[in-house]
Structure 1
Amino acid sequence: GINGFEVQKQNCCWLLVTHKPCVKDDVMPALRKATGDAILKFEPLILHVQCRQLPDAQILHSVAIDSGFRNSGITVGKRGKTMLAIRSTHGLEVPLSHKGKLMVTEEYIDFLLQIANQKMEENKKRIERFYNCLQHALEKETITNSYPKKKIKDKNNSSYTRKKKRNPEAAHGKCITEENDEDCENDDDPGISITIFPKDY
C-alpha cells in the first residue's frame, strides 16, 4: 500500500512499515485501523550467506561477531552446504491492541517508539561496522593469499610446498571499536552452531 500501509505478509496485514525513525503521530492513525491484534515490532538485520567453504564462513562469522551481531552462526548441511546466518539479539515485539481495542496508553506507545528508534540507530551502526570490518578482513585475506608459498624440506630431503597456516584472528584482524566493546558485555555468547540436515535436504 501507499506509505507502507496495508502491506500483506504471512497472513497478516502490516498497518505501518517504515525503515525510518517513527513518532507517535505516525503510529496512532495506523493503530486505529486495527480490527485484530496489533503488535509493534522492530526487526534488526538478518542476513543469510551461502559460503563455498567453511573457512570462508568462519571469516564472515568473525566479522559478524566483531561487528555486534552476536547471535550469528554457521550451519553445515549433510551434503556440505555451508550457510552463515548473521543475526542480532536486539529485536523488539510488543502487543499494543487486542481485537481492535488499544491495551496500552499513548504515553507507553511513545516510550516504546523511543526504544525502537534507538534500536534502529544501533542496527545501522552495526551494519556500518559489519561493512567496514568485512572490507578490512577481505583486504587482509588478499594480502595473506598474495604471499608466496613456503618450500619445506622433510627428513628425506625431498621438497614439498605448504601454504602458510591460516590464523583467522591474525589474518583478518579484530575489528573492534569502543562502541563494539560495550556490545560485547550486553549480548549473548555467540558460539558456532553446526547442524546436520536429513538425507532429503
Structure 2
Amino acid sequence: MAEHRPELLYSYFRGAAVSIYQSTSDSGIQKQHCCWLLVTHKPCVKDDVMAALKGATSNAVLKFEPFILHVQCQTLQDAQTLHSAAVASGFRNSGITVGKRGKTMLAVRSTHGLEVPLSHQGKLMVTEEYIEFLLTIANQKMEENKKRIERFYNCLQQAMERKAISSSHSETKEKNSLLCTHKNKRNQGKAHDPSITEDHEKELEGADGLGISAALFSEED
C-alpha cells in the first residue's frame, strides 16, 4: 500500500535571517525602498554590525525575520494536517486561506520577529553595548527558530505515519466487510437452494481464498 502524503502543488520558503537595512525613502521605514547593509542566516556578531553601520547614510534598522513557508495544497484536509503540525511546533501565527477558485494555501508563520532602529540620518542613536544586547536577543531567536523548524519536521512526519496507519486499517476493514457480505449472501443462497452441496461450497471457499491471496499478492507487487 502506498503511504499517504499531503499533496503539495506549490511552496515558497524563506529561512530566518538577521539583517540591517536603511530606508532610501522619506516615507518612512519601508522594505520596498531600502538598501541592505547586512544579511546573514547565521548568528551575528557585533563587529559585523558595526562595520555595516559605517555605510549607513540614512535610517538604519536591525531586523530579525523568522522562518516562513507558504504551501498550496491539493485538498483542505492536507492543509489542515500541515497546519496542525505547524501550530504544535510553535508557529502559532500559521493559517489557511481558500481562494475564490478553490485554491487552498497554508502559511506557516510565527511572531518572534525583531525590528529596531539603530541610526537616524546616518547618525548612530544607540550605544555599542545596546547593539550587543540586541544581537544576543536576535541570535537567541535564530536558535529558537531552528528548533521550531525541527519540531515542525518531526510533527509532520508523525502525522503522515498516523495517516498511513489509519488508511491501512480502513482498507483492511473494508476488505473484511466485503468478504463477510459475500459469505452471508452465499449462506442465504444455500438456505434457499438445497441443491448447493457441501463439496460445491468447499469449492467456492477455495475460490474465495485464491481471490484474497491474489489481491494481496498484487498489492505487494
- Fold similarity call, TM over 0.5: yes
> Secondary structure of 1:17's match?
strand
CA RMSD of superposed structures (Å): 2.3
Contact 2:20 2:63 in 1 (8 A): no
Task: List aligned pairs for 1:1-201, cutoff 5 A.
Answer: 10-147=32-169, 148=171, 149-150=173-174, 151=177
Unaligned segments of structure 1, at least 5 residues: 153-201
Amino acid in the other structure paired with 1:137: A
> Secondary structure of 1:68's match?
coil
Displacement after TM superposition at 1:11 (Å): 3.2
> Secondary structure of 2:67's match?
coil
Give TM-score scaled by structure 2 length.
Answer: 0.63
Displacement after TM superposition at 1:5 (Å): 9.4
> Secondary structure of 1:15's match?
strand
User: In 1, Cα distance between the equivalents of 2:106 and 2:159?
Assistant: 16
Equivalenced residues, count: 150
Give TM-score scaled by structure 1 length.
Answer: 0.69
Displacement after TM superposition at 1:59 (Å): 0.4
> Secondary structure of 2:40's match?
coil
Give CA-to-partner distance per residue, 1:94-119, whole Å, 9 cap, x none: 00011111111111100000000000
Q: Is the alpha carbon distance of 1:40 and 1:5 closer, same or farther for their aligned partners in structure 2, counting shifts above 3 Å?
A: closer
> Secondary structure of 1:16's match?
strand
Displacement after TM superposition at 1:18 (Å): 0.5
Amino acid in the other structure paired with 1:10: Q
Displacement after TM superposition at 1:16 (Å): 0.6
> Secondary structure of 2:38's match?
coil
Structure 1 runs of 4+ aligned residues shifted over 6 Å read none
Query: Which protein has the larger Cα radius of gyration, Structure 1 or Structure 2?
Result: 2
Displacement after TM superposition at 1:10 (Å): 3.1
User: In 1, Cα distance between the equivalents of 2:109 and 2:20?
Assistant: 27
Unaligned segments of structure 2, at least 5 residues: 1-18, 22-30, 179-221
Q: Is the alpha carbon distance of 1:5 and 1:120 closer, same or farther for their aligned partners in structure 2, counting shifts above 3 Å?
A: closer
User: In 2, Cα distance between the equivalents of 1:11 and 1:146?
Assistant: 54
**Percent of aligned pairs with the same residue?**
77
Displacement after TM superposition at 1:131 (Å): 0.8
